[in-house]
Amino acid sequence: MLQAARRELPAASARVQELAEKADAAAAAAAAAAGDADADVGIDADELDAIMKTLLPMEQQLLQARLELQRVQQAFAAAAAEAAAVRVEGGKVGLARSVLQYMRSRAWIKDDYTSAASAASSSAAAAAAAAGDEDSIVHPLVIQRRKQAVLRADALLHNLLQKKLRLKETLVRLTRERAAAAADEALAEPSCSLVSPKKLTHKDTIINL
């Protein structure tokens, strides 16, 4: 039985390689059509069932492990791209923080800003205008616009920090899933390489990572 398995190993390996390349090509076509880096493996359930029926159990295990690894790799790439976009937004976050601190240091925004303060500011502006000191006038509408700008900057800062935290959690989860999928593939691969492990560990494997 062992000798028979050894004789059938090259043909089985070639069959797994051919079927996996077919699944890989279908996945690439689906991803290109959808324009989405997070596209799932581009092969429908009926076709996958037909492929699985032609494989030995050990070949099925190896193919499933590699397809799962490919799916996790695609999800990881999408999350990494989103994290890169968030890092680009980091500059805006820093600017928003600087503007917020500067405006607060100049007392342009106060929590106890009321209509009475607005009236007092208007009275001071009128008095300054009567005195001819136009440079010292700060119109209440200007103060209100500055306050709104600071509040928007504060909200932007909060939203970006929350998004960055969620992306970190996603990347950690996908890293663990990728490691688990790679371990499953490593466990499945030796069972298909009783004699010639180089057949399935060659650089031209099913998934180019």
Rounded-to-integer distance, Cα 35 and Cα 29, Å: 10
Q: Is residue 209 part of a domain?
A: no
What are the tens digits of pLDDT across the range 107-127? 555 544 444 445 545 555 555
Res 156: pLDDT = 75
CB 125 within 8 A of CB 137: yes
* Residues 96-132 as b or e (16 or more Cβ within 10 Å = b): beebbeebeeeebbeeeeeeeeeeebeeebeeeeeee
* Token pair in block for residue 87: 């890092």
Domain extent, residue 103, equals 2-201
Residue 67 lies in a domain: yes
Residue 159 parent element (H or E):
helix 140-191
Both structure tokens of 149: 């700008």
In a domain, 169, yes or no: yes
In the block, residue with structure tokens 């359930």: 45
Tell me, yes or no, whether 9 lies in a domain. yes
Residue 206 within any structural domain of the chain: no
Total number of domains constituting the chain? 1
Task: Indicate the residue type of 83.
Answer: A
Instruction: Name the least confident of 43-57, 82-96, 120-134, 194-208.
Output: 194-208
Give me the mean pLDDT over the 64-71 stretch.
Answer: 78
Q: Is residue 21, in this structure, part of any structural domain at all? A: yes
Tell which residue, 37, 68, 79, 81, has the closest CA to residue 174: 79
pLDDT at 65: 76
Could you tell me if residue 208 is inside a domain? Answer: no
Q: Is the pTM of this model over 0.85?
A: no
pLDDT, tens digit (0-9, with 9 covering 90-100), for 144-169? 777 777 777 777 777 777 887 888 88
CA distance 75 to 37: 7
Separation between Cα atoms, residue 137 and residue 152, nearest integer Å: 25
